[in-house]
Amino acid sequence: MTLHSNTITGYKVFNHDFTCRGYYFNGVGTTHTYAWTPVLCESGFHFCTTLQDCFKYYDIKPHMIVCEVTATGYTDAEEDCSKRTCQSLSIIRQMPLDEVAQHITDSKYAYWWAMDIG
């Protein structure tokens, strides 16, 4: 667990209605704060610092929303992946899916992208 005074930039995938795991994020330009200490895979707001890693945890769907986010406060990280959880998450911008596709370099994810998005 690390307290970050500087901002970490990353990516987050949402359902078509800006929900994720039952929490409504209100869209671009909002900041969400978790009142307690975040624990990876248990609590806090999760994101990845590498866009492609998001698809280890979320299915590729035509109606998904992918956003660039920033995180501050306490964070918890996974050792072999860019997955993080944080205390404060700001949604900076929604990325067009064609821009997201440009970041997909792993052949497995590229195949899923081609099958599910086109």
Question: What is the model's pLDDT at position 111?
Answer: 79
Q: Is 1 a residue whose pLDDT tops 90? A: no
Radius of gyration of the chain (CA): 14
Measured in Å, how far apart are the chain's first and last C-alpha atoms?
Answer: 39
- Span 6-54, pLDDT tens digits: 789 999 999 999 999 999 999 999 999 999 988 989 999 999 999 999 9
Residues 6+ apart with CB under 8 A from 79: none
Q: Is 94 a residue whose pLDDT tops 90? A: yes
The topology under which CATH files domain 2-111 is: ADP-ribosylation fold (3.20.170)
Rounded to 5 degrees, φ, ψ at 84 are -140, 160
Strand segments, DSSP code E, in the chain are 2-14, 19-20, 23-24, 31-33, 45-48, 65-77, 83-95
Domain locations in the chain as residue ranges: 2-111
Cβ-based neighbour number of residue 40 at 10 Å: 17
